[in-house]
Structure 1
Amino acid sequence: MFRGTYSVSLDAKGRLAIPARFREHLQSSDVSRLVFTKDPDHCLALYPEPEWILIEQKLRQLPSLKQSVRNLKRLLIGNAHDVDIDAQGRVLLPLKLREYAGLDKRVAMVGQVDRIEVWNEDTWNARCEEWQESIDLDDLTADADLGSLVI
C-alpha cells in the first residue's frame, strides 16, 4: 500500500529514486517492474506491474464505441512505459512523460494506495491548496458511502 508524500530530486538523466517506504512495499510484494503512464490531471501515474495488468483488464472491458473511452485508453495505454528499478532504487522516466507532467528538478511522489502519482512539486503544492478549499464536508457527510470517512 502506497501512502504519504515524498519530495525527491530528478537527476540530470531523468532518473527518480523511489522513496524507501515505497521500495519496501514493492520488495515485500516481489515487484521489480513498474509502469508509468499519463494521468488526466497532468501528473504521472506509476503502477506496480500487477496493478497495471488489472487496469488494462478493466480498460479492455469498457465499450470502445464511446469516444471518451477510446480517448482514455489512448491516454493511458498509449503512453504506458514499462520501467525496471535499478540497483540504487531508481527508475528512468521517459522524456515525453517528464515533459507532459512538467517535471524538472523537484518532484512530489504521492502514494495513492495502489499507485504512486508523480507531480512537479510546485504544481502539487498549489493543487493541494485548491483541493483543500474545494472540499465540501456537508456534501461528503450527505453521501452514505463517504460519510463514515469524515472525522
Structure 2
Amino acid sequence: MFLGTHPLRLDDKGRLFLPAKYREELSGGLVITKGQERCLYVFPVAEFERITQALSTAPTTAKAVRAYSRVFFASASDEVPDKSGRIVVPQALRTYAGLGRDCVVIGANTRLEIWDAPAWESYLAAEEESFSDLSEEVLPGVF
C-alpha cells in the first residue's frame, strides 16, 4: 500500500529518486504510464500485470476499452531503479504530465502518482473542498 506525499526533484537527465520507504518494494521493477488528470501512474510490476489481466478480459468490441487500452499501454514504460533508487521518467511522459523540476510523488493505494508540484497543489486545493462530500458517494456506509 502506497501512502503519503513526497516532494522530490527531477534532475537534468529526467531522473527522479523514489521515496525511500518504497525503494525496496519497487527495486525489482515498475511500470510508469499516463494517468488521469495529467499525472503519471507508477505501478509495481505485479500490480501492472493484474491490471493487464483485467483489461484483457474486457470486450475489445467496446470502443472505450480499445481507446483506453491503446493510450494506457502505448505510453507505458518499464523501468528498474538504479542502485540509488532513481528511475528515468521518459521525456514523452514528462511532457504529458507537464513535469518541471519540482515534483510530488503521492501514494494512491496500489500505485504511486507523479505530479508537477504546482499542478498537484492546484488539484488538491480544488478537490479538498469536496472531499468530505465524496466520502458518501465513494465509500457508502464505511465512515
Task: Report Cα offsets for 1:36-82 as digits up to 9, x if no partner.
Answer: 00012210000011110001001111111111111110111111100
Tell me which residue corresponds to 1:102: 98
1:147: Cα distance to partner?
3.1
User: Residues 104-136 of structure 1, C-alpha deviation per residue, up to 9 Å, x if partnerless?
Assistant: 101110001111000001000110011111235
Please name the residue that 2:53 is paired with. Answer: 57
Of 108, 118, 123, which aligns to 2:119? 123
Separation in 2 of the partners of 1:40 and 1:71? 14
**In structure 2, distance between residues paired with 1:147 and 1:7:** 33
User: What is the TM-score when the length of structure 1 is the normalising length?
Assistant: 0.88
Unaligned runs of 5+ in 2: none
Partner of 1:133: 129
Distance (Å, rounded) in 2 between the aligned partners of 1:144 and 1:91: 33
Equivalent residue, structure 2, for 1:10: 10
Paired residue for 1:77? 73
Instruction: Give percent identity, aligned residues only.
Output: 34
Structure 1, unaligned stretches of length 5 or more?
none
| CA-to-aligned-CA distance 1:80-116 (integer Å, 9 cap, x gap) | 1000010010000100000000001011100011110
Q: Which runs of 4+ in 1 moved over 4 A?
A: none
